[in-house]
Amino acid sequence: MWGVCPVTMQKKEKSGGITILDFGSQYTQLIARRIRELEVYSEILPWNASPDIILSGEPKGLILSGGPRSTIGPDAPRLDRSLIEGKISVLGICYGMQLIAHTHGGEVKKGRLGEYGRTKVVFKDGNGEKILRGVPASIDVWMSHWDEVSRLPDGASAFGASESGALAAYSMDGGRITALQFHPEVDTTEYGREMLSNFLFDICGCEPNWKLGDWVKRSLDSVASAVGETDRVICGISGGVDSTVAAVLVSKVTGDRLDCIFVDHGFMRKNEPEQVVEAYKKLNLRIRHVDASEKFLSAVKGLTDPEEKRKTIGELFVRVFEEEARKCGGAKWLLQGTIYPDVIESGFTGGDVIKSHHNLQLPDDMKIELLEPVRELFKDEVRRIGTLLDIPEEMLKRHPFPGPGLAVRCLGDLKRERLDILREADAIFIEEIKSAGLYDDIWQAFCVLLPVRSVGVAGDVRTYGETAVLRAVASRDAMTAESVRLPWEVIDKTAKRICQEVPQVGRVAMDVTGKPPATIEWE
Ligand code: XMP
């Protein structure tokens, strides 16, 4: 069952859905999400799960994801051929497409240039490929590969090529196995949704019967069987959407066996601790406010490396929670609001480590067990579940805030005085965005304090002040993001107010970078 452990490596109930084998792509969860949007159950298993486990839920189809490796490299993840020899429908995407060819006697080679980004593909459909139903003969797709299939396996037939002439699509066994070099799950791919829908409904014969309400029921059952009748649970809450939804969900099972712990690590935004405690009281959840700011500040003293900071904060969080667990009647479980982008970016699905999210850097000797019911959901899904659970809108609409808080937005010397400067500047920016009526349309807006000073002049006197950066991004799921084009009046007023009301700041800049190439947070 989802959520309680990262990857359920046990046999499953019959799902009637799709199993995605994860070869380490940044997009694997997007595939799962697109399938859920089409109301079909989907789950992700690592590429090396045993065929027994992969097939135990009797999925109607298998999707082989993309991945960062080369099928012709020495350390390439492999495919157990027996998995796709039977009757099951299979869709290979990017690495998955190359792997099917490689496994069945085709040839994969390093391409001359590789293809990255938007690419035109032309389909030549001689066999009436079901996946192409309703798809025009020429579309733009999202490519991201270096290797290409240079010779097809016996019995395979090509039905698409990109402008460079590289093979873009083929099928085998009368269309039971379909392989695409491009990513239908990425928004840029035109008709990607149609192709996935064709795979689910026309090729695999799935039914659109998976609903978020069902997820809640299944998740409650799963939590109930984990915590039993007597276990106590503590929940690390930040006041954000993810931990709030996790806490309200689990409280339905545990009742007053749940204690919510708000750890103030000293990296919170202005007035945040008071606001969070108030909001939780209204939710009728028992909350303990732990002021651990001295401990955290002294642990990160002198640290400037982003990963070192993140790991130190992550470990200290756990130590504080262990102490609180003892105080709360010996709680056995630590409930966390970990969501899937945290998991992907921390490299837990086999991809590259982008940054270690605080709630995933857990010490080996941790003395408390983890409960993570929303671990495989995206933020917008968590928000929708929050609505089903009657959590007030203003809590669900709060902009995401990273667990390590301002520690990853205050670059350079992490001292209380600099954090106070950042808190004030950030509060002004958010106030201006709210008063312009823009807050709910923005994924995330915040200030960053740079370790750079610059020369200015105020009242005829030379200044040498701090630099604050404004960042506002639009995103659907934090996997990619674009800078928001804020009205000039908002930027101008914010900059003026920051320099006047926070005199230590001498310069305000704006970060207009997207993700990629940047990440949303600076560290
Ligand atoms: P990045 O910076 O990786 O952020 O583009 C993606 C989203 O995740 C949030 N974030 C975190 N959330 N713990 C969290 O709970 C963390 O350690 C963490 N780091 C980043 C970030 O604010 C953005 O919404």
**Is 248 within the bounds of a domain?**
yes
Q: Kindly state whether residues 128 and 229 are assigned to the same domain.
A: no
Same domain, 53 and 167: yes
Confidence of residue 347 (pLDDT cuts 50, 70, 90): low
Mean pLDDT of the 87-99 span: 97
Please give the average per-residue pLDDT across 174-199, as a whole number: 96
Distance between CA atoms of residues 316 and 338, nearest Å = 17
Asked if residue 446 belongs to a domain, the reply is: yes
Same domain, 23 and 169: yes
Each residue of 434-493: pLDDT tens digit? 999 999 999 999 999 999 999 999 889 999 999 999 999 999 878 788 999 999 999 999
Q: Tell me, what DSSP letter sits at residue 300?
A: S
265 catalytic per annotation: no
Quick one: which atom of ligand 1 is closest to the CA of 443?
A: 24
Rounded to the nearest whole angstrom, what is the distance from the C-alpha of residue 149 to the centroid of ligand 1?
36
What per-residue confidence (pLDDT) applies to 399?
95
Instruction: Specify if 363 maps to a domain.
Output: yes
Residue with CA closest to ligand 1 atom 24: 400
In this prediction, residue 520 carries a pLDDT of: 96
Structural domain ending residue among the three candidates 172, 203, 234:
203
372 and 437 in a single domain? The answer is: no
* Mutation test residue for ligand 1: of 342, 377, 406, 477, the one with most atoms within 8 Å of CB: 342
Whether residue 391 sits in one domain with residue 355: yes
d(CA 133, CA 198): 7
Range of the domain at 494: 409-511
Q: Ligand 1 pocket check: which of 354, 473, 521, 522 to mutate, most ligand atoms within 8 Å of Cβ?
A: 521
Whether residue 459 is found in the same domain as residue 496: yes
Q: Which atom of ligand 1 is nearest to the CA of 519?
A: 5
Separation CA 23–CA 404 (nearest Å): 29
pLDDT tier at 2, thresholds 50, 70, 90: very low
Q: Are residues 199 and 216 in the same domain?
A: no
- In this structure, is residue 253 part of a structural domain? yes
E strands present in 284-432: 287-291, 333-335, 369-371
Q: Indicate whether 29 pLDDT > 60.
A: yes
Better-predicted residue by pLDDT, 111 or 312: 312
Q: What is the CATH number of the domain that holds 239?
A: 3.40.50.620
pLDDT at 217 over 60: yes
Quote the pTM value: 0.76
- Residue 370 has which token pair? 């983890």
DSSP 153: P
- How far is ligand 1, taken at its centre, from the CA of residue 101, in Å? 37
Q: Are residues 128 and 189 in the same domain?
A: yes
What's the CATH number where 158 sits? 3.40.50.880
Residue whose CA is at the smallest distance from ligand 1 atom 18: 402
Which entry of 102, 104, 145, 183 is annotated as an active-site residue?
183
Cα–ligand 1 centroid distance for 402 (angstroms): 5
Q: Tokens 């919510």 correspond to what residue?
A: 260
Between the CA of 356 and the centroid of ligand 1 the distance, in Å, is 9
Structural domain count, the chain: 3
Q: How far is CA 320 from CA 118, 285, 291, 317, 419, in A?
A: 47, 20, 10, 5, 22
- 499: annotated active-site residue: no
- DSSP annotation string for 131-157: GGTT--SEEEEEEEEEEEEEEPPTT-E
* Residues 96-117 pLDDT 10s: 999 999 999 999 999 877 888 8
Q: Is the pLDDT of residue 234 over 90?
A: yes
Sheet holding 258-264, edge to edge: 287-291, 258-264, 233-237, 333-335, 369-371
pLDDT over threshold 80, residue 429: yes
**Is residue 30 included in any domain, yes or no?**
yes
Give the three-state DSSP class for 260: strand
| Res. 215 pLDDT band, cuts 50 70 90 | confident
Name residues contacting ligand 1 (CB within 6 A).
341-342, 345, 354-355, 357-359, 400, 402-404, 444, 478, 515, 519-521
When pLDDT is cut at 50, 70 and 90, the band that residue 419 belongs to is: very high
100 and 149 in a single domain? The answer is: yes
**Residue 185 is among the residues annotated as catalytic for this protein:** yes
Q: What is the CATH number of the domain that holds 497?
A: 3.30.300.10
Record the tokens describing residue 252, joined without a space. Answer: 């339905």
Check whether residue 435 and residue 363 sit in a common domain: no
Q: Is residue 172 part of a domain?
A: yes
* Residue 481 Cα: closest atom of ligand 1: 5
